[in-house]
Chain A
Amino acid sequence: MNSSSEKLATNFIKCELSLSGQLYSTETKNNYYLDAVSLISSIEGQKTIFLQEKEPLFFSILFFTLLDFGHIPICVSSDLNQFQYEQFLKNMPTAGWIKNKEFTPPTIIEQNKYSNCYGCLTSGTTSSPKLCYLGISNAKENASAHAKSLGIDKHHLILQSLPLNHSFGLVVYLWTTLVTSNKLDFNLAFLGLRSLNKRNLSNCVIHLSPAQSRFVIKEKIDEIEGMDIVSIGGGLIQSDEVEKLCKKFKNSNVFTTYGLTEAGPRVTSGLWKSGKNTGHIGKPFTGISAKVLLSDNKTLLNTGQGHLCIQSPSLKLNLLQSEVIQDNWLKTRDIVNINPQGDIDYISREDDLINIGGISIYPKDIEAVARLNPMVDDCIVLKKRSDMYEEIPILVVKPTLDVKLLEDYLKERLNIYQMPKQIYSFDEFPQHSLNKIDRKALLAMCESL
Chain B
Amino acid sequence: MPEILKKVIEVIEDNEDLNPKISISEITFASRFKEDLGFDSLALMSLVYELQEFYPDLDEMVISQWSTLQDCTEHLTKL
Query: Interface residues, chain A, CB within 8 Å of chain B?
Result: 20, 79, 81, 187-190, 192, 194-195, 211-212, 215, 219, 357, 388, 407, 411-412, 416-417, 419, 421
Contact = CB atoms under 8 A, between A and B. Distances in A.
Nearest to B40: A416
A211 B42 CA distance: 8
Contact of A189 (B38, B49, B64): B64
B76 interface: no
B45 A388 contact: no
Nearest to A388: B17
Given A190-B45, A411-B35, A195 B40 contact: no
Contact of A188 (B38, B40, B64): B64
B38 A421 contact: yes
Interface residues of B, number: 20
11 contacts: A188-B64, A189-B61, A190-B44, A192-B60, A194-B52, A194-B60, A219-B49, A407-B21, A416-B40, A421-B19, A421-B21
B45 A192 contact: yes
Given A194-B60, A195-B60, A189 B17 contact: no
Contacts of B45: 189-190, 192, 215
Looking at A79, A188, A219, the one whose CB has the most chain B CB atoms below 10 A away is: A188
Contacts of A81: 35
A420 to B, nearest CB: 9
Interface of B: 17, 19, 21, 34-36, 38, 40-42, 44-46, 49, 52, 60-64
A194 B49 contact: yes
B35 A20 contact: no
Given A190-B45, A192-B49, A407-B21, A416 B38 contact: yes
Report the 10 A-B pairs with minimum CB-CB distance, sorted nearest first: A188-B64, A190-B41, A195-B60, A189-B64, A189-B63, A411-B35, A189-B61, A215-B42, A20-B61, A190-B45
Chain A binding surface, main DSSP class: loop
A417 B40 contact: yes
A188 to B, nearest CB: 3
Looking at B36, B38, B61, the one whose CB has the most chain A CB atoms below 10 A away is: B61
A189 B21 CA distance: 22
Contacts of B35: 81, 411-412, 416
A79 B36 CA distance: 15
Contacts of A419: 21, 38
A194 B51 CA distance: 13
Contacts of A194: 49, 52, 60
Nearest to B60: A195
Looking at A187, A195, A211, the one whose CB has the most chain B CB atoms below 10 A away is: A195
